[in-house]
């Protein structure tokens, strides 16, 4: 399943990539399963890391991998939003209960020099949910679209969840040409 998704992603990169002049590119961009695994291992099994950020002409496109460990249900429900970025998740392993919405309190901007802002998703805010608008169990093979500005997080993760994120960067807030240090050649 992961290889199918990566093949589709590569086709999307190739089909939508245009040089600054607007001419079609001469080559596509590949993100291999080995690169994804190397980034997951390098990050110690957690967090949100961009694998590659590609300049596709009018905008950039980021490909990231996220892995979250177990999270027991109950307690405070926290989320994050991104003010300039929509995300598309493809769950490659594990499962969890995802929550989304905009009914939040205690909004705290993520520091402008934080790697989440500078390299992953641009300007973002953390907050506490008053009441999520959506709550849904997601598992390997599922695709989730998180619109710009929508707070999102998890209320439960039994063991882990790992997902690849495709991030269209229409405002070019992310550094084009970025490649995660552990896979640079």
Domains of the chain, earliest start first: 2-180 (2.60.120.10)
Q: Residue 14: its pLDDT value, please?
A: 42
Element (DSSP H or E) covering residue 42:
helix 33-42
Cα 66–chain centre separation: 7
Give CA angle at 127 (94, 74), nearest 5°: 50
The whole-model pTM stands at 0.85
pLDDT, tens digit only, all 185 positions of the chain: 555 455 544 444 444 444 444 444 577 899 999 999 899 888 776 678 999 999 988 889 999 999 999 999 988 999 999 999 999 999 999 999 999 999 999 999 999 999 999 999 999 999 999 999 999 999 999 999 999 999 999 999 999 999 999 999 999 999 999 999 989 88
10 φψ region: left (φ > 0), alpha (ψ -120 to 50), beta (else): alpha
């Amino acid at each position: 399943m992961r290889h199918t998704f990566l093949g589709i992603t590569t086709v999307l990169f190739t089909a939508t990539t245009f040089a600054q002049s607007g001419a079609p590119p001469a080559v596509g961009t590949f993100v291999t399963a080995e690169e994804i695994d190397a980034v997951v291992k390098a990050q110690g099994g957690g967090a949100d890391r961009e694998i590659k950020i590609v300049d596709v002409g009018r905008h950039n496109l980021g490909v990231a991998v996220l892995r979250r460990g177990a999270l027991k249900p109950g307690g405070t429900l926290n989320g994050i939003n991104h003010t300039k970025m929509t995300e598309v998740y493809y769950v490659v392993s594990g499962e969890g209960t995802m929550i989304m919405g905009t009914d939040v309190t205690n909004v705290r901007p993520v520091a402008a020099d934080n790697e989440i802002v500078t390299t992953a998703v641009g300007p973002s805010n953390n907050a506490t949910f008053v009441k999520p608008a959506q709550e849904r169990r997601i598992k390997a093979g599922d695709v989730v679209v998180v619109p710009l500005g929508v707070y999102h997080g998890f209320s439960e993760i039994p063991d882990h969840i790992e997902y690849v994120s495709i991030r269209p960067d229409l405002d070019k807030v992310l550094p084009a040409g970025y490649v995660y240090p552990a896979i640079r050649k």
